[in-house]
Amino acid sequence: DDQCRTSMRGIFAIGDVTGEPMLAHRAMAQGEMVAEIVAGHNRSWDKRSIPAICFTDPELITAGLSPEEAKRLGGEIKVGLFPFAANGRAMTKLSEDGFVRVVARADNHLVLGIQAVGQGVSELSTAFGLALEMGARLEDIAGTIHAHPTQGEGFQEAALKAMGHALHV
């Protein structure tokens, strides 16, 4: 269940035996949650902000919903895509292939998902997970000062693009 309880009283399950996504960082978070529950705290499991990363070349990351998944849930969405070809740090690393994409609700700009492809994008996973966990809106990401030159600026630029205010595209 949403507290990792099994059908056997007092027995919890974490990690791969609980299904997708089968990720080490998910199992660690579940283990921490179960320890808190056993200690008497009220916790439940919410998987919406678990980043999934392919450590390939280029790297791929996704957290939350894809545009297609968000559309299936109903309601209008906004999508902002920022190419690394317009990112100063990607240019200095000669790794301009790839992008950051933000998916948000059109009515209130709540961020539903974030994806990225490119060299070193796994380092953006924490920012993506944090944005989803905190219930960030496009304005939150766009209004956060991102250091220059970093690939993280692509996250800000994607949010700005989704709002129709892109600076460097």
Domain boundaries, the chain: 1-47, 52-162
pLDDT for 74 beyond 70? yes
> How many percent of the chain have pLDDT more than 70?
98
Q: What's residue 147's pLDDT?
A: 87
What mean pLDDT comes out for the span 9-20?
Answer: 88
Confidence (pTM): 0.84
3-state secondary structure of 123: helix
Distance in angstroms (rounded) separating the CA atoms of residues 146 and 159:
12
Q: What's residue 24's pLDDT?
A: 81
Q: Give, in degrees to the nearest 5, the angle at Cα 107 between 106 and 112.
A: 55
169 band by pLDDT with thresholds 50, 70 and 90: low
- Catalytic center residues: 148
95 φ, ψ to 5°? -135, 60
Nearest to 89 by CA among 168, 151, 167, 145: 151
Nearest to 120 by CA among 100, 147, 144: 100
* Residue whose token pair is 């994607």: 158
Query: Does the domain at residues 52-162 carry the CATH identifier 3.40.50.720?
Result: no
